[in-house]
Structure 1
Amino acid sequence: MEDNFLTIDNECSGVYREKGSKFIAYAFPCGDVAAFEERLVLLKKEHPKARHHCYAYILDPSNQQYRYNDDGEPTGSAGLPIYNQLKSMQLKKIAVVVIRYFGGKKLGVPGLINAYREATQDALSQAKIVEKYVEDLFEISFRFDQTGLVMRVINAAGIRVLENGFHESPYLIFAVRQSLSRDVKVRMYALLLSRNVSDITGDEMIPGFKFEKSGVVNA
């Protein structure tokens, strides 16, 4: 399973004009439906005289949460062209809303497809595209005398530590790219048990040491 994806790092906008109609595209990072709907409501309030508020989004790296909407335009002439731009650029966790002010002349379906596509392209051309990763979250606890070995693996793998502290024993909460999760766990167990990596299953019991998955980031 791929654990990397492309998205945008900033909100951006673009404009396309055709036969008096004005198409304003807003692109923004987005990871859940509630956040998108909240933003859509705000855009409608900002543009109360607009005729259409068409959109498309892809909210997860696996393309399971997606939607496109024509908002009264002919079927397939607005939301789908926006969505196809996101697909062609392989962007995830993103939404685009294109607002149309009607100029008095009909564009026909081909003209609408081109207009919504061009407005979306103009917005995305302003975006900073970045690569992100789906990460597993782990919490580990360990004895003081195990600290050096634990940190050797953490530092060597360049792991993103989110929290560290002390309850009954030292603990760390960290995020690691999904494709590297098992390797990190196995290497840590191998060091603590003084065994070869190839001999580790990850199910071994280590006194004073606990390694637990607590969640997923960017799924």
Structure 2
Amino acid sequence: MAEKENFLTIKENGEHQIIIKKSKFIASLARTTSVQEANDFIAEISKKYHDATHNTYAYTIGLNDDHVKASDNGEPSGTAGVPELKALQLMNLKNVTVVVTRYFGGIKLGAGGLIRAYSNSVTEGVQAIGVIKRVLQQELTFSVAYNRFDEIDHYLKEKQIYVANTEYGVDVKISVFLDEKDLEWFKNDLINLLSGKVEFTKGEQRYNESKRKKLKYLS
């Protein structure tokens, strides 16, 4: 699987506040997968902080920055939205929208000061919220007899493999998600553990959050 199919994004939606020369900057960040979602979030935050001096924003949508936009919302041209967008891009974040709200504190920052303030607001906001890797994975389903389930369950937990579903019928039907490059190794492990008595069915592909270390297989 190509690495470009995996991407970094924020861990969750959130906001973070900093104070610079008495001006308050609030960075509100959200995961957004479409321009419509981005616009809805911008409208939501702009309404929430309708009394602010400025509600500037930037977004990047798509794994190749397919849709990007930045707005200074009344700040001097190029001092807010573009620095925010560049901050997101420098961190290699995808599918993220940020709205940086400013409450003016009475001290002018100048163009350079504004650029640093808006950029730092985004960077510090992302650091506070956290970053995760989204990994495109393949669903794989297989069945095991009840007398072998504990052994397989232990293996899956030990390898920190994401189990999507477990059904208890005549046998135990288990669905897991794996990186494409890990499929053959995983299949070989299961075949060895179960002495060849296992069949696999591929299901959907979807993005999951990567929370485990690199797998080490038995084979």
Q: TM-score, normalised by structure 2?
A: 0.67
Counterpart of 1:30, as a letter, is R
Cα drift, residue 50 of structure 1: 3.0
Establish whether residue 212 from structure 1 lines up as the match of residue 214 from structure 2: no
Alpha-carbon deviations, 1:92-126, whole Å to 9, x = none? 4543211234578876543432331233344345x
User: How much is the aligned-residue C-alpha RMSD, in angstroms?
Assistant: 3.8
> SS in structure 2 opposite 1:26?
strand
Q: Check the 8 A contact 2:57/2:84 in 1, yes or no.
A: yes
| Cα offset, 1:55, TM superposition | 1.7
8 Å contact 1:133–1:218 — kept in the other structure?
A: yes
Question: Which amino acid letter does the alignment assign opposite residue 205 of structure 2?
Answer: G
Instruction: Check 1:210–1:169 CA distance in 2 against 1; reply closer, same or farther (3 A cut).
Output: farther
Deviation string 1:51-72 (CA, Å, 9 cap, x unpaired) is 4322223456x44455231144
Q: Distance in 2 between matches of 1:95 and 1:74?
A: 21
Letter in 2 for 1:25: I
The answer to whether the Cα contact below 8 Å between 1:8 and 1:28 also exists between their aligned partners in 2 is no
Asked if 1:81 is matched to 2:83, the reply is yes
TM superposition shift of 1:216? 0.9
SS of 2:85's equivalent?
A: helix
Q: Give the Cα separation in 2 of the matches to 1:132 and 1:165.
A: 29
Unaligned runs of 5+ in 2: 210-219
Shift of 1:177: 4.0
Residue identity matched to 1:14: Q
The 3-state SS of whatever aligns with 1:162 is: strand
Match of 2:98, SS state, is strand
Q: Which residue of 2 aligns with 1:180?
A: 182
CA deviation profile, 1:72-106 (whole Å, cap 9, x unmatched)? 44543222211222233344454321123457887
Partner residue in 2 for 1:99: 101
Q: Is the 8 A contact 1:30 1:59 kept in 2?
A: no
User: Does structure 1 conserve the Cα–Cα contact (< 8 Å) formed by 2:70 and 2:81?
Assistant: yes
Query: Is 1:164 aligned to residue 166 of structure 2?
Result: yes
1:138 is aligned to: 139
- The total of aligned residue pairs comes to 203
1:12 partnered with 2:15: yes
Q: With structure 1 as the length reference, what TM-score do the two structures score? A: 0.67
Asked if 1 retains the 8 angstrom alpha-carbon contact of 2:138 and 2:180, the reply is no
**Which residues of 2 match residues 108-127 of structure 1 at below 5 A?**
109-125=111-127, 127=128
Amino acid at match of 1:96: V
**Structure 1 residues without counterparts, runs of 5 or longer:** 195-205
Q: Which amino acid aligns with 1:50?
A: A
Provide the C-alpha distance between the structure 1 equivalents of 2:135 and 2:145, rounded to a whole number of angstroms.
31
**Distance between the aligned counterparts of 1:36 and 1:138, measured in 2?**
29
1:154 to 146, 153, 156: 156
